[in-house]
């Protein structure tokens, strides 16, 4: 199969022919539907060097935000079947410490002694026709399009994490959320806010085309630049911070 390989430190990746991987115990083989390119990928091949250590040392296939369909099920895996569509959560910890047990592999207690950090970061990733992944890293896609959903497994997690923590503050009606910066993560933030909250979503950026895109997802655009803060206050009904003191007799 073809794969995008990171072959040496500070070397641009190359497309190579490699053997199709075989899922080990507890793993599945995914036929890749979508593999997002993250800015971290650029750091991997442009900036990283030996000082990063063995966990990220080449050679391996890039791609840590992936989705796909199950092609093969490894020994001991139950509850999934060939053809089912999943997102693949990238980070892979020790799988048994308290953090990994909560599904927070990014906080793995044993991260320093793991052989790699994630699929596509030290272990073969999804910029290939097929990829193996532990079955515990699969997130069902339901009726979402497996191809366009791939970035939700990485770029989507940052805004989702922030919005999830803010959900109690956004509930109850008459609330506003402001998304500052409408690159990839900001655009996904607008979509997640629209899906999970009833808040008015304001979005601001210096690029008119980025604001137009956010508007399509339900955001109310606020022009950046001079006077931006005043426009935000006016739109959201928040007055400039004046401290109000009351005295009681
Ligand atoms: Zn990433
Ligand atoms: Zn762990």
pLDDT at residue 91, as a whole number: 95
The ligand whose atoms approach the alpha carbon of 90 most closely is 1
Distance CA 159, CA 163 (A): 6
Q: Given this structure, which CATH class describes domain 157-236?
A: alpha beta
Distance CA 53, CA 32 (A): 28
Burial class (CB in 10 A: 0-12, 13-18, 19+), 29: buried
CA of 24 to the centre of ligand 1 (A): 25
* pLDDT reading at 248 higher than 50: no
| Residues, CB within 5 angstroms of ligand 1 (ion) | 38, 40, 154
Q: Given this structure, which CATH class describes domain 2-151?
A: alpha beta
* pLDDT reading at 73 higher than 60: yes
pLDDT category, 236, cuts 50, 70, 90?
confident
Q: For residue 173, give both structure tokens.
A: 């009606």
Domain ranges across the chain: 2-151, 157-236
The average confidence (pLDDT) of the chain is: 93
Instruction: Give the Å distances, CA to CA, from 11 to 1, 57, 63.
Output: 21, 12, 16
* pLDDT reading at 247 higher than 90: no
The ligand whose atoms approach the alpha carbon of 184 most closely is 1
CA of 62 to the centre of ligand 1 (A): 11
3-state DSSP assignment of residue 191? helix
CA of 152 to the centre of ligand 1 (A): 10
3-state DSSP assignment of residue 223? strand
pLDDT in tens, 200-234: 999 999 999 999 999 999 999 999 989 999 999 99
Distance CA 70, CA 156 (A): 22
The ligand whose atoms approach the alpha carbon of 94 most closely is 2
Q: For residue 207, give both structure tokens.
A: 């690029």
Distance CA 34, CA 13 (A): 18
């Amino acid at each position: 199969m073809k794969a995008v390989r990171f072959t040496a430190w500070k070397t641009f990746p190359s497309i190579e022919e490699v053997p199709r991987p075989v899922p080990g115990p507890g793993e599945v083989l995914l036929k890749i539907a979508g593999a997002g390119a993250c800015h971290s990928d650029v750091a991997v091949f442009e900036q990283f060097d030996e000082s990063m250590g063995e966990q990220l040392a080449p050679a391996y296939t890039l791609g840590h935000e992936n989705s796909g369909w199950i092609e093969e099920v490894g020994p001991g895996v139950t509850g999934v079947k060939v053809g089912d569509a999943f997102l693949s959560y990238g980070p892979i910890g020790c799988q048994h410490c308290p953090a990994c047990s909560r599904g927070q592999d990014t906080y793995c207690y044993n991260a320093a002694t793991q052989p790699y950090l994630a699929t596509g970061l030290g272990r073969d990733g999804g910029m290939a026709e097929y990829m193996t992944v532990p079955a515990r890293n699969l997130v069902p896609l339901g009726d979402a399009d497996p191809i366009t959903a791939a970035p939700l497994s990485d770029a989507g997690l940052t805004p989702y994490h922030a919005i999830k923590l803010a959900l109690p503050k956004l509930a109850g009606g008459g609330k506003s959320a402001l998304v500052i910066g409408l690159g990839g993560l900001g655009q996904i933030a607008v979509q997640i806010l629209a899906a999970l909250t009833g808040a008015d979503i304001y979005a601001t950026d210096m690029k008119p085309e980025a604001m137009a895109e956010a508007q399509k997802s339900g955001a109310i655009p606020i022009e950046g630049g001079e006077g931006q803060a005043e426009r935000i206050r006016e739109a959201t009904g928040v007055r400039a911070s004046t401290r109000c003191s009351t005295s009681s007799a």
